[in-house]
Amino acid sequence: MTIPIVAFPGTSPISTTVLGFGCASLGSRVGQRKGTRALSEAYDLGVRHFDVARSYGAGSAESILGNFIRGKRENVTVVTKAGIFPPANNRLLAKGILVAGRLSPRTVASKRRRSYEQAALKQSVHESLRQLSTDYIDILLLHELTYRDQIEHDSLSALRELQDRGLIRAYGVATHGKEIMRLERAGHHVPIPQVPCNVLDRNVQILRQQGGATSALTHSPFGGRGTLSSLYSNPVFLREASDAVDAPIRSLADLGRLMLACALHLASPGVVVCSMFDSSHIRQNVETATQRFDVARLEAFVAKVSSNKSGTS
Ligand SMILES: NC(=O)c1ccc[n+]([C@@H]2O[C@H](COP(=O)([O-])OP(=O)(O)OC[C@H]3O[C@@H](n4cnc5c(N)ncnc54)[C@H](OP(=O)(O)O)[C@@H]3O)[C@@H](O)[C@H]2O)c1
């Protein structure tokens, strides 16, 4: 069984796997060696979509991914982001990564800077191309662009120009559904949105109900780090979920499978990007992405969670 493929519009159609590998922890929580092993295992199992950002790993995630995709460039799709930047002088951070192999995510996040000015975005894309050792980016996303940023800098125009020059094949914005709709309503079209998507989060439904996100990029199917274990320790949630899907949830792995299957269903047609540096997570997530699930049961799970948010608190 192979991972299903989904298509996105671009200067030429972009096809990729519905399961994507999220690199937010690369070069911070996860060091270069372990990170590269995980990228390699996911690739060998068929994952072809990789999500990174200029800011991830204090700027080191792109170069780790760039080294990994060397020789595989035509086989993979790479999303990277601009707008949030690593520290200007990150020699100390880079040294920290080199010495410790990784940095605390808090240290990395505290050093980030933001700018949506056109010149800064163009410069960021050139730096991403250099770090990723590639001459094109499949999809460039403005990282947490707000309506106010767009009004102030007309940031989306910079991306249209980069697309015309062939440096990026497609572009969009990575933020929340409401912000995307605000941009769209004001006439600032976002060709490809990237939003969170899981059973607890209605971002994708909001976009689709309002006519946005024909094909969407989505992330965080498990609700981010720690959410899955906290749901697993909630007996009300577990009972309701088991009743809705008419199958017992006996382990964290069972819940993980259900959460990912649900995100893949909600995101369809689209990509679901998750962090999966642990080998057992990679194998389980690839297996889930290749399976067929009973849609009626997944819908029942979504309906139950939506109608009773108290079960998730
Ligand atoms: N603004 C944006 O565009 C934006 C925002 C947030 C995230 N993202 C992207 O989305 C990616 C994922 O986001 P996230 O980390 O917030 O959320 P997530 O993927 O929902 O959660 C990841 C957590 O779940 C664990 N996990 C993975 N598979 C599992 C499984 N089968 N069973 C149990 N646990 C499992 C991961 O562990 P291990 O990693 O240790 O295996 C990690 O701790 C990021 O890396 C980034 O690329 C983008």
Contact (CB, 8 A) for 27 and 57: yes
Calculate how far, in angstroms, residue 112's C-alpha sits from the geometric centre of ligand 1: 20
Pocket test for ligand 1, best of 140, 144, 220 (most atoms within 8 A of CB): 220
State mean pLDDT over 84-111.
63
> Does 241 or 87 have the greater pLDDT score?
241
Nearest CA, atom 23, ligand 1: 225
State mean pLDDT over 297-309.
87
State mean pLDDT over 63-75.
98
Contact (CB, 8 A) for 218 and 270: yes
Whether residue 276 has its Cβ less than 6 Å from ligand 1: yes
pLDDT beyond 80 at 106: no
In a domain, 292, yes or no: yes
What pLDDT, on the 0 to 100 scale, is given for residue 40?
Answer: 98
For the ranges 185-189, 208-212, 218-222, 265-269, the lowest mean pLDDT is seen at 208-212
State mean pLDDT over 255-270.
95
Can you count the helices (H) and strands (E) in the chain?
Answer: 14, 12
Whether residue 275 has its Cβ less than 6 Å from ligand 1: yes
Q: What is the mean pLDDT of the chain?
A: 91
Number of folded domains that form the chain: 1
State mean pLDDT over 253-277.
96
Q: Is 211 left (phi over 0), alpha (psi -120 to 50) or beta?
A: left
What pLDDT, on the 0 to 100 scale, is given for residue 135?
Answer: 97
Share of the chain above pLDDT 90, in %: 79
Task: Please give the number of the atom of ligand 1 that sits closest to the Cα of 253.
Answer: 32
pLDDT beyond 90 at 88: no
Structure confidence by residue, pLDDT tens digits, 228-255: 999 999 999 999 999 999 999 999 999 9
pLDDT beyond 60 at 171: yes
The confidence band for 313, taking pLDDT boundaries of 50, 70 and 90, is very low
What pLDDT, on the 0 to 100 scale, is given for residue 97?
Answer: 57
Calculate how far, in angstroms, residue 186's C-alpha sits from the geometric centre of ligand 1: 32
pLDDT beyond 80 at 136: yes
The confidence band for 95, taking pLDDT boundaries of 50, 70 and 90, is low
CATH number of residue 231's parent domain: 3.20.20.100
State mean pLDDT over 144-148.
97
In a domain, 126, yes or no: yes
The confidence band for 90, taking pLDDT boundaries of 50, 70 and 90, is low
Pocket test for ligand 1, best of 84, 222, 255, 282 (most atoms within 8 A of CB): 222
pLDDT beyond 50 at 162: yes
In a domain, 38, yes or no: yes
First to last CA, the chain: 37
pLDDT beyond 50 at 300: yes
What pLDDT, on the 0 to 100 scale, is given for residue 213?
Answer: 62
In a domain, 24, yes or no: yes
Share of the chain above pLDDT 70, in %: 90
In a domain, 313, yes or no: no
What pLDDT, on the 0 to 100 scale, is given for residue 276?
Answer: 98
Structure tokens at 108: 């990395």
pLDDT beyond 50 at 91: yes
Predicted TM-score of the model (pTM): 0.93
State mean pLDDT over 160-169.
97
In a domain, 284, yes or no: yes
pLDDT beyond 60 at 286: yes
Burial of 147-185, coded b for 16+ CB within 10 Å and e otherwise, reads bebbeebebbebbeebbeeebbbbbbbbbbbebbbbbbe
The confidence band for 312, taking pLDDT boundaries of 50, 70 and 90, is very low
State mean pLDDT over 13-24.
96
Q: Greatest CA separation found in the chain?
A: 54
Task: Please give the number of the atom of ligand 1 that sits closest to the Cα of 143.
Answer: 1
In a domain, 50, yes or no: yes
State mean pLDDT over 58-78.
97
- Full residue range of the structural domain in which residue 11 is found: 5-308
pLDDT beyond 50 at 1: yes
DSSP annotation of 148 reads H
Whether residue 193 has its Cβ less than 6 Å from ligand 1: no
What pLDDT, on the 0 to 100 scale, is given for residue 212?
Answer: 66
Whether residue 83 has its Cβ less than 6 Å from ligand 1: no
